[in-house]
Amino acid sequence: MNEPSDSRGTTHFGFREVPTGEKQKLVGEVFSSVAGKYDLMNDLMSLGIHRAWKRYFVGTAQVAPGDRVLDLAGGTGDIAALLRDRVGDAGEVVLGDINGAMLRVGRDRMIDRGSVRGLSYVQCNAESLPFPDASFDLVTIAFGLRNVTDKDAALREMHRVLKVGGQARVLEFSEVQAQWFKPLYDFHSFKVLPKLGQLFAQDASSYQYLAESIRKHPPQDQLKAMMDTAGFVRTSYKNLNGGIVAIHTGYKV
């Protein structure tokens, strides 16, 4: 379900109910904790398949050389690096993230890759973006929307900063479709993942939260409806690996 969850001003942080104003701080603590282990986190959560998902996500996006692209919740720069190759020297990729630790890791990794031209970094809240209307040809957010407190506000902001004809894309863990697979997926998420987090990152609780946050994220049809409400048209989604993740797409007219 989307949040805030009730009139008392509470929302969910994983399976816990917390005051709405505290979620951003709590999520920030999680990602500050895992910033240096972000690739490991994704490997543990997706069994390493996240790299293929990200390549497909960018490879099927509506983007051309010379475009200006915003990648929200850009983390350690995986999506931005792929987008940078698509927009070429004439284009620009803005990597935005609310978490300073994640942004620093992403910047350092992009420098190590030698990918610095046409890239800029902005610490920003997806619910209130510091960009003018109609600034970008493409807006992406990968594995970040489920951590946003007010998802509706973030979707409205993505729509606002898009140019007419521009595309928005959301890559996110979603609702597994096959009933037979759900118990196995739950076992991995709630029994195996926190133990691996403790073993490899000395942080079981953050990984427990991340597993819980997936279950609280709006499923495919609900997120599509939220994009419709935010003003997007021709909205659609594509399940990958049986709905473990889904790519949602919308356009601005």
Helix axes 20-34, 100-113, angle to 10 degrees: 30
Yes or no: say if 25 and 98 are a contact pair by the CB < 8 Å rule.
no
Q: Measure the CA–CA gap between 1 and 14, rounded to whole angstroms.
A: 12
Yes or no: say if 108 and 175 are a contact pair by the CB < 8 Å rule.
no
Whole-angstrom CA distances from 181 to 117, 137, 185, 187, 203 are 44, 38, 6, 10, 27
221 is in an annotated binding site: no
Torsion, Cα of 199, 200, 205, 208 (10° steps): -100
11 is in an annotated binding site: no
Q: Measure the CA–CA gap between 189 and 172, rounded to whole angstroms.
A: 15
Q: Measure the CA–CA gap between 81 and 145, rounded to whole angstroms.
A: 20
239 is in an annotated binding site: no
Fill in the DSSP letter of residue 15.
T
Yes or no: say if 2 and 152 are a contact pair by the CB < 8 Å rule.
yes
126 is in an annotated binding site: yes
Binding site, by residue number, is 76, 97, 125-126
Binding site for S-adenosyl-L-methionine, by residue number, is 76, 97, 125-126
